[in-house]
Amino acid sequence: MSLELEISASVALIGAIGIAYYYKKSEKPRIGLAFGALFAINAILLVLIPLFTVIC
């Protein structure tokens, strides 16, 4: 189960990187900033989920 969580988190992270890169190239920087924040949240979750499973 932990491996599935890590795989899905990294897939979400890669998707967020792709979306943020796409919107950075476009002419709407505010949307790019929003997806950058989404990318940061995904990065935090990628660290917190394994830590949470280790602690519990």
Q: CB–CB of 39/17 below 8 Å?
A: yes
**Residue ranges making up the domain that contains 21:** 2-55
Residue 7: strand, helix, or coil: helix
- Counting the structural domains of the chain, the total is 1
Cα-flanking dihedrals φ and ψ of residue 10, to 5°?
A: -70, -35
The residue ranges of the chain whose pLDDT is under 50 are: none
Q: What is the pLDDT of residue 32?
A: 66
Query: Residue 12 contacts by C-beta under 8 Å, 6 or more apart in sequence?
Result: 42, 45
The model's pTM: 0.41
pLDDT at 33: 73
**pLDDT for position 29:** 67
